[in-house]
A and B are shown apart, each in its own frame.
Chain A
Amino acid sequence: DAGVTQSPTHLIKTRGQQVTLRCSPKSGHDTVSWYQQALGQGPQFIFQYYEEEERQRGNFPDRFSGHQFPNYSSELNVNALLLGDSALYLCASRPGLAYSGGANVLTFGAGSRLTVL
C-alpha cells in the first residue's frame, strides 16, 4: 500500500524563479493538504484540495497556488521565489472531507526540500 509520494525530493532555485512540486496521495485518500516547514519550525498550513477545488487556505500570498487532478494527485506552484520560501514542503492526504473521526488524521509524505539562492 503506497503512502504519500512527493517529487522532487530536493531542488535548488534562484530568486524570482518559479517551482512546481508534485504529490500523489495515499491509496484511498482523496483530500490533499500542503504544508510549509521552515528549518527548526513546525509545519504551516498552506491550503487543502478536495474534489479539485481549494477548500481552505492558510496565511500565504497568492504566489502560492495549487491544483488537484481527477486522480486526486496535486501540485503546488510557487511563483517569484523569495529567499524566505526555502523550506521543506510537505504534502498530506486524508480520506474525504465527508468522513469524521479517524478520517481526520493526516498522512504525510517525506517532503520536497526547496532551497532558494
Chain B
Amino acid sequence: GQQLNQSPQSMFIQEGEDVSMNCTSSSIFNTWLWYKQDPGEGPVLLIALYKAGELTSNGRLTAQFGITRKDSFLNISASIPSDVGIYFCAGRGGGTYKYIFGTGTRLKVLA
C-alpha cells in the first residue's frame, strides 16, 4: 500500500539531545498530522498542521508544514526517556477523507 517516506527510519540518541525527522510525499497535501505510537497502543496525536509554512509547537515538540506542501518536519528538543516510541506522519490531500501514513521513525533514547 501507499506510504509516505519518513527519515530517518530509526535513531538512537542521548537524553537531552534534540531530534529531527521528516516526511516527504509525491503528492500535495492539505493537512499534515504527526502521531506517536507506543508498543501495543494506537497512535496518539502530537501536532496537526493545516497551512503551508505553518509552524506549530506542543511543548518540546515543533512541527512544520513544508512550503511545497509535499513535506513536513518534526523536531523534539531536549529528549527524555519517555520520548521513546515510533513517530508517524500522516498526510491528507484535497477531495479525499483518507490519510496516508509514513513508514515511521523509531526513536530510542539512551539515558
A: which residues have CB within 8 A of B? Answer: 4, 33, 35, 40-45, 48, 55-56, 58-59, 90, 92, 97, 101-102, 104-111
Contacts and interface: CB of A to CB of B under 8 A. Distances in A.
Given A105-B48, A108-B43, A42 B3 contact: yes
A97 B97 contact: yes
Contacts of A42: 3-4, 88, 90, 101-104
Interface-central residue, B1, B90, B92, by most chain A CB under 10 Å: B1
Interface-central residue, B31, B33, B42, B92, by most chain A CB under 10 Å: B42
B100 interface: yes
A33 B98 contact: yes
A59 B96 CA distance: 14
B103 A41 contact: yes
Given A101-B50, A105-B33, A105-B45, A56 B98 contact: yes
B59 interface: no
Contacts of A33: 97-98
Given A56-B98, A59-B2, A106-B45, 18 more contacts: A33-B97, A40-B104, A42-B4, A42-B90, A43-B101, A44-B1, A44-B2, A45-B100, A48-B97, A48-B98, A58-B98, A92-B42, A101-B50, A106-B90, A108-B35, A108-B44, A109-B42, A111-B42
